[in-house]
Amino acid sequence: MFTAEPHPAASAENNRLAAVMARAWRAQGWEQVTLRRYDVLHSRPRSVTLEMTAPASFKASLREDPYDRDPDTRNPAIDGAYFGYSVSGDVTAALVYAHSGNPEDYALLRKNGISVKGKVVIVRYSNPYSYRGFKALVAEREGAAALLIYSDPAEDGYARGKVFPDGPWGPESHIQHGAITYDYIVPGDPTTPGWASVPGAKHIDPKQARSLPSIMALPLSWRDAKPLLENMNGAEVPPEWRGALPITYRFNGAVVVHVHADMDTSIQPYTVVEARIRGSELPDQWVLVGNHRDAWVYGGVDPVSGTAAMLELTRSLGELKRRGLRPRRTIVVCSWDGEEYALTGSTEWGEQFSADLKRKLVAYLNVDEAVAGAATTAGAEGLSFEPSAVASLAPMLLEASKSVRAPSGKSLYEAWRATAMRDKKLAAPPPDSGLVETRIGSGSDHTVFLNHLGRPVINLGFTGDYGVYHSAYDDHFWMTTIGDPSFAYHLALTRIWGLVALRLANSDILPFDFEANGAALQGFLADLERADKIDPARLSLARLADRIASFTAAGEQLRALTLHDLAAGSASAQQIRRLNDRLLEVESNWLDPDGIPGRPWFQHVLYAARYTYDHLEFPGLTEAVEATDWSRAAAQAQVLDAAFLKNTELLQSAAAEWRGGR
């Protein structure tokens, strides 16, 4: 149902699916089913063209080929190539190849005497990976006139294995659609930074919007990129810049291209669908589950594998409620819109309800791509379970995984250990503390809850061979013949998602482990000290290390004390209630209302994302150290000192209160 038609944000089909979702949730017994509308600055193409005018003439198709085996690929509703929030423009200029489009690539071009000013730049999607909106910002800063990003078969095509429709990798014409928003500066509607785009809200002039690019950009298949690259006649690139095409990769020379984009950038309605099952005892503590609804095309993996899991989860929770098993805390579910543009729906919803969420939200459990991998090529151990979580929730997630069966027949915990060992090429399974990824980047709907509102988050999903990300081939055929034909991984994902939600909703004492949290943070600090070779004469992190150690010890003491009394059956309801209120405050104390330097929307002092979308720990401090700005680094270390002190005192006073309540 959800992969029947293309359904990008603001399309009639995606809005129709909002109503479908609302009907489904009502039928499943969910309460207060509500459609929340946001009027946001949207971006879609009117006409986009690309041609080579010299040394030969060639017109790029900018389309993905149909295949008889998959009739969905013939749908005329499939869009051609465009990037969300590309500017409109028309330019004819020489073409330069800039590898992956990261700053060091332009540095190498400069070393070779090549400027990209006023030129059209062509780059690959990954190797190393960086978010396409980062490549756009770098190209813009370098003065390029336009940016083309193509999918080299080295990364997601034939060099990796069999291609669609015979295998999971991208065929010659596949296009990775996407947006190039600078949402690592501020996500959501670019014209309402920090407040919600409810109907009638004030919008800033798009020219003032920090998250809007000012460069024209287009995605390309390798089939459209190849004639451009192979007609160059300049110097050969170094080996690490070569991809898997059977051509000589060169920096530049001879090739002139004409790029044209006419974009409709206008206010359009987005819809977040929201529903809840009211908690029987603690209705004002919320566990939130969510997944985005909009897809670049059909979204077989991204996001409908998550949508399918979410609908099965809501069906199951509705059935429990019907049987009289209402959760103790309220479970809220949301179907986000416009995630693909700028994490927009979740950001606007989070901003609209920020006061409630800061007080009531126990945790947000996000599933974007539930099954982003091919079970049919995954081998005996199967797809990799690759969740990420704030470190305080990692032990609970591990514990829950022991109660879920993986498709291989093992417990999910054992399957997880086996695939982690395989993927990391280890001789033995990693320790439990190394299983959960506690470094959290951006790129999905957890961002507003963690980074702006200071609430704990978990992301769940399976991964494996998957080369059709954001293309028209990410569809029902891919999932049912190549990805997860038995839907066994979808079921396993639904079970771990539901179990974690129910443990959070029903636990006596909220399952936050601040000892594990502190241990992970000690690791982050050690990484920072190792990576950046901090000169102790300029910056001492000794006090911060002491503060983290005290926080860890306070977490350990509180846990031992409360577990002891719980096991002895001597904990009173009042003691527990008081403790839970305290535990909920810890994550909020990681917020700095000033935000991290240069990005005030990002307020969490432990977690942010880099401009590349990569994870970034102690963001204010780390960025200052990387910029060798030692006075800013000292100030940011002090912000961290204060936050750790506050949370250590909080845990210590919670322990004292607990003892006093005995």
CB nearer to Zn ion: pick between 155 and 368? 368
Q: Provide the 3-class DSSP secondary structure of residue 93.
A: strand
Considering only the stretches 167-175, 182-190, 297-305, 407-415, report the one whose residues sit in contact with Zn ion under the rule CB under 5 A: 297-305
Q: How far is the CB of 443 from Zn ion (least distance, A)?
A: 8
Considering only the stretches 43-51, 300-308, 381-389, 510-518, report the one whose residues sit in contact with Zn ion under the rule CB under 5 A: 300-308
Whole-angstrom distance, CA of residue 491 vs CA of residue 497: 10
Q: How far is the CB of 468 from Zn ion (least distance, A)?
A: 13
Q: Tell whether residue 303 is a contact of Zn ion (CB under 5 A).
A: yes
Cβ distance 464 to 378 under 8 Å? yes
> Measured in Å, how far apart are the chain's first and last C-alpha atoms?
55
> Which CA distances in Å does 398 have to 19, 62, 171, 434?
36, 45, 37, 11
Distance from chain centroid for Cα 152: 23
Considering only the stretches 53-61, 127-135, 278-286, 360-368, report the one whose residues sit in contact with Zn ion under the rule CB under 5 A: 360-368
58: exposed, middle or buried (C-beta count within 10 Å: 0-12, 13-18, 19+)? middle
Q: What is the DSSP string of 19-34?
A: HHHHHHHHHTT-EEEE
Whole-angstrom distance, CA of residue 178 vs CA of residue 175: 9
530: exposed, middle or buried (C-beta count within 10 Å: 0-12, 13-18, 19+)? exposed
Considering only the stretches 366-374, 422-430, 527-535, 630-638, report the one whose residues sit in contact with Zn ion under the rule CB under 5 A: 366-374
CB nearer to Zn ion: pick between 25 and 296? 296
CB nearer to Zn ion: pick between 458 and 516? 458
Q: How far is the CB of 614 from Zn ion (least distance, A)?
A: 17
> Which CA distances in Å does 372 have to 112, 516, 536?
39, 29, 44
Q: Which residues contact 430 (CB under 8 A, 6 or more apart)?
A: 417, 420, 421, 424
Q: How far is the CB of 461 from Zn ion (least distance, A)?
A: 10
Cβ distance 36 to 335 under 8 Å? no
Considering only the stretches 150-158, 298-306, 329-337, 392-400, report the one whose residues sit in contact with Zn ion under the rule CB under 5 A: 298-306
List the x/- string, 445-484, binding to Zn ion by CB under 5 A: ----------------------------------------
Q: How far is the CB of 368 from Zn ion (least distance, A)?
A: 4
List the x/- string, 617-656, binding to Zn ion by CB under 5 A: ----------------------------------------
CB nearer to Zn ion: pick between 314 and 346? 346
Burial 27-36 (b: 16+ CB within 10 A, else e): ebbbeebeeb
Q: How far is the CB of 281 from Zn ion (least distance, A)?
A: 34
CB nearer to Zn ion: pick between 346 and 419? 346
List the x/- string, 245-284, binding to Zn ion by CB under 5 A: ----------------------------------------
List the x/- string, 166-185, binding to Zn ion by CB under 5 A: --------------------
CB nearer to Zn ion: pick between 183 and 368? 368
Considering only the stretches 260-268, 362-370, 454-462, 589-597, report the one whose residues sit in contact with Zn ion under the rule CB under 5 A: 362-370
In degrees and rounded to multiples of 5, residue 383 shows phi and psi of -70, 155
Give the amino acid at 441.
G
Cβ distance 661 to 572 under 8 Å? yes
Considering only the stretches 13-21, 53-61, 301-309, 595-603, report the one whose residues sit in contact with Zn ion under the rule CB under 5 A: 301-309
Q: How far is the CB of 292 from Zn ion (least distance, A)?
A: 6
Q: Tell whether residue 337 is a contact of Zn ion (CB under 5 A).
A: no
C-beta atoms surrounding 600 within 10 Å: 15
Q: How far is the CB of 33 from Zn ion (least distance, A)?
A: 23
Classify residue 72 by its DSSP letter. Answer: G
CB nearer to Zn ion: pick between 441 and 595? 441
502, two tokens:
């129910």
Closest CA to 362 of 498, 500, 488: 500
CB nearer to Zn ion: pick between 458 and 655? 458
Cβ distance 278 to 329 under 8 Å? no
CB nearer to Zn ion: pick between 361 and 372? 372
Q: How far is the CB of 79 from Zn ion (least distance, A)?
A: 17
Cβ distance 358 to 55 under 8 Å? no
Q: How far is the CB of 546 from Zn ion (least distance, A)?
A: 41
Q: How far is the CB of 472 from Zn ion (least distance, A)?
A: 15
569: exposed, middle or buried (C-beta count within 10 Å: 0-12, 13-18, 19+)? exposed
Q: Under rule CB under 5 A, which residues in 376-415 are in contact with Zn ion?
A: none
CB nearer to Zn ion: pick between 28 and 130? 130
CB nearer to Zn ion: pick between 189 and 337? 337
What's the sign of the alpha-carbon dihedral 115, 121, 127, 128? positive
CB nearer to Zn ion: pick between 370 and 404? 370
CB nearer to Zn ion: pick between 36 and 446? 446
Whole-angstrom distance, CA of residue 526 vs CA of residue 350: 33
Q: How far is the CB of 603 from Zn ion (least distance, A)?
A: 24
CB nearer to Zn ion: pick between 368 and 617? 368
Q: How far is the CB of 299 from Zn ion (least distance, A)?
A: 8
Q: How far is the CB of 340 from Zn ion (least distance, A)?
A: 6
Considering only the stretches 4-12, 13-21, 208-216, 295-303, report the one whose residues sit in contact with Zn ion under the rule CB under 5 A: 295-303
> Which CA distances in Å does 394 have to 203, 387, 389, 515?
39, 9, 6, 11
Classify residue 429 by its DSSP letter. Answer: P
Closest CA to 165 of 441, 589, 478: 478
Q: Which of 64, 152, 155, 368 binds Zn ion (CB under 5 A)?
A: 368
Considering only the stretches 25-33, 50-58, 361-369, 570-578, report the one whose residues sit in contact with Zn ion under the rule CB under 5 A: 361-369
Q: How far is the CB of 268 from Zn ion (least distance, A)?
A: 19
> Which CA distances in Å does 167 have to 141, 465, 477, 482, 539?
39, 9, 11, 6, 52
Considering only the stretches 269-277, 321-329, 364-372, 582-590, report the one whose residues sit in contact with Zn ion under the rule CB under 5 A: 364-372
Count of residues near Zn ion by CB under 5 A: 3
Whole-angstrom distance, CA of residue 287 vs CA of residue 309: 17
Q: Tell whether residue 302 is a contact of Zn ion (CB under 5 A).
A: yes
CB nearer to Zn ion: pick between 5 and 302? 302
Cβ distance 339 to 303 under 8 Å? yes
Q: How far is the CB of 369 from Zn ion (least distance, A)?
A: 6
Residues that bind Zn ion (CB under 5 A): 302-303, 368
